[in-house]
Amino acid sequence: MKKSIVAAAIFVAILLVPASRISAFVPLEIKPGALKGVLEIWKAQRCEKVKTNAEKKLEAIEKKRDKHQTAYQNLISRLETLIEKMESRGYSVADIKTELSMLKTKVEKFGEDYQKFFDLMAEVKTQACGGETDNQVKAKLLEARTQLKTVRQDAKEIREYYDTVIRPDIKALKNQTPSN
């Protein structure tokens, strides 16, 4: 019995000793000017982070745009070369010529849409650190995302147009007999 009383006393002592050291926390007084300073620092840090991220994104967009434009211009020049070669051999290439002009308009539209997207992203970059509200920046970013969907759709249309319209006509040239 004495052992259980001593064990209980030791247990209670272990619980009470840390409790005697606990004191109430006194709330700190926050001055309104200090809070504004912290918010300004936070906003400046956020602005720098947004600027660097936007610059990286703009560089990536520019590289991707150049890559697409180069690929499409190479495609057009190869088709023009093919048309000239086949026409000189006496093949009928009128269909491919009209399809090539349609492809050129699709590539132009793609370039214009990509430029709109690039400009919108540049505006987002400048607005993020300007006097614009977060909602205005988010609205501009949403507009840029919508424009990106348009750009992707344009690229998809170009690929599909080449695969479903131009390529079969090129393959059909094999079945033609030259007029020469």
Instruction: Kindly tell me the burial class for residue 143, based on how many C-beta atoms sit within 10 Å of its own C-beta (0-12, 13-18, 19 or more).
Output: middle
Would you say how long the chain is, in residues? 180
Task: Indicate whether 19 pLDDT > 60.
Answer: no
Half-sphere CA count of 10, side-chain side, radius 13 A: 6
Residue 102: predicted pLDDT: 96
- The residue that leads in pLDDT, 48 or 29, is 48
pLDDT of 161 higher than 90: yes
Cα(63)–Cα(67) distance, integer angstroms: 6
The arithmetic mean of pLDDT across residues 45-73, rounded, is 89
Residue 115: left if φ>0, alpha if ψ -120 to 50, beta else—which one? alpha
pTM for the model stands at: 0.72
Q: For residue 43, how many C-alpha atoms fall within 13 Å in the half-sphere facing its CB?
A: 13
Taking residues 145-172, report their average pLDDT: 94
